[in-house]
Amino acid sequence: MRPLRLIVQIAAVLTPLPTAAAEKAPISLAKVGNWEMRYDEDGCNLMGSFGVGRENVLLVISRTAPSDWFEMKLFGESFRESNFTKPLTVAFGNKPPIKRVALAGKSATADRLPVLIVTQLRLDGADVAETKPDSHPISHITPQQENAATSITVSIDGGMRYRLETGSFGPLMAAIRTCTDNLVRHWGYDPQIEASLVNKPIPSTSPGTWLTLTDYPRTALAHGTNGYVNFRLDVDDHGAVTGCHILFRTSPDEFSDLSCALLRKRARFEPARDAENKPVRSFFTNSVRWMTGY
């Protein structure tokens, strides 16, 4: 998206930018307590706590559908940022670091903890750009790759560098897969049919027209407030949107309410197609970031 002072963007991934993280040893944060799987109405969230005191980090790995991709959220006082975007790198185990731009905000819960949100991650460090139609498909993550990843190293540009000692991701990813299959069933879809689709719903109009600059909430604009909304749209076998569900949001609420209202009104799709190339109902997940500037 071209540089604008006012930005409303729907994207599959946040544009990676170069980082200049210092080459210093990361602060190692040990796991505190047990992993917790939260089976929410609209997502699977694996949560683990690392470190103590001010350096305590709550890691949340989220999936909203069966996939090798996931979203990572880092909650903690050390992630308090004045800017809405923050360049960083993420490395799983001994894999090379992945450049990303995280969104910084505050949780919408009562504690309003600072949070960094990193989208479109895979344990093998693959880039979302490789999934474009004119490129070779990316192979699925193997159990061996999951078992080999035993830590997450996060290097924040101009800031701290942490290594979260997660232990093997093998059992963690297995738990998330079970959760997402159950989640899809709860939504009224068959996980096996979803996995065998020739294609998921494809936007038939540009997502850039679904939310526009003139839609920015006036109060949020006046206060320079930014927001992030992760959503799911139910799409019928004719490509019509039949439902909108908020999977995650940052504070304030007005961004999520407005996003769903406009997406239901404006989003248009070519329907998903099954293994016999017949149109079927399915769902579309994505996110939108509301920004008053870079």
**Per residue in 186-230, pLDDT tens?**
989 998 888 889 999 999 999 989 998 889 988 888 888 888 888
Bigger pLDDT: 39 vs 150:
150
**Residues 232-250, mean pLDDT to the nearest whole number:** 92
Say if CB 203 and CB 239 are below 8 A apart. no
- Residue 275 and residue 194: Cα distance in Å, rounded? 10
Bigger pLDDT: 66 vs 204:
204
Q: Pick the range with the lowest mean pLDDT from 11-25, 157-171, 272-286.
A: 11-25
What are 7-43's pLDDT values in tens digits?
A: 454 544 344 444 444 467 899 999 999 999 987 777 8
Predicted local confidence at residue 169, as pLDDT = 97
Beta strand segments in the chain, E: 7-11, 27-29, 31-40, 43-50, 57-63, 70-75, 85-92, 98-106, 114-121, 152-156, 161-164, 202-203, 227-235, 241-249, 269-270, 272-273, 279-280, 282-291
**Residues 235-247, mean pLDDT to the nearest whole number:** 94
Say if CB 176 and CB 46 are below 8 A apart. yes
Highest mean pLDDT among 101-105, 157-161, 233-237, 290-294: 233-237
Bigger pLDDT: 64 vs 165:
165
Predicted local confidence at residue 17, as pLDDT = 43
Average pLDDT, rounded, for the chain: 84
- The residue behind tokens 């190339």 is 277
Predicted local confidence at residue 128, as pLDDT = 63
Highest mean pLDDT among 108-117, 120-129, 243-252, 264-273: 264-273
SS3 23: coil
Predicted local confidence at residue 32, as pLDDT = 96
Q: Where in the chain is the domain with CATH 3.30.2420.10?
A: 202-291
- Residue 198 and residue 133: Cα distance in Å, rounded? 13
Predicted local confidence at residue 79, as pLDDT = 86
- Residue 250 and residue 195: Cα distance in Å, rounded? 30
Predicted local confidence at residue 248, as pLDDT = 82
Q: Pick the range with the lowest mean pLDDT from 13-27, 108-122, 226-240.
A: 13-27
- Residue 104 and residue 246: Cα distance in Å, rounded? 18
Per-residue pLDDT band for 5 (boundaries 50, 70, 90) equals very low
- Residue 80 and residue 115: Cα distance in Å, rounded? 7
What's the distance, CA 117 to chain centroid? Answer: 7
SS3 155: strand
For the purposes of burial, counting CB atoms within 10 Å of the CB of 125, is it exposed (0-12), middle (13-18) or buried (19 or more)?
middle
Q: Pick the range with the lowest mean pLDDT from 49-53, 90-94, 193-197, 267-271.
A: 193-197
Q: Which residue, 180, 120, 177, is CA-closest to 143? A: 177
Q: Which CATH number fits domain 202-291: 3.60.20.30, 3.60.21.10, 1.20.58.710, 3.30.2420.10?
A: 3.30.2420.10
Residue 185: Cβ within 10 Å count: 12
- Residue 113 and residue 111: Cα distance in Å, rounded? 5
Per-residue pLDDT band for 135 (boundaries 50, 70, 90) equals very low
Predicted local confidence at residue 243, as pLDDT = 95
Backbone angles phi, psi at 118, to 5 degrees: -120, 120
**Residues 125-131, mean pLDDT to the nearest whole number:** 65
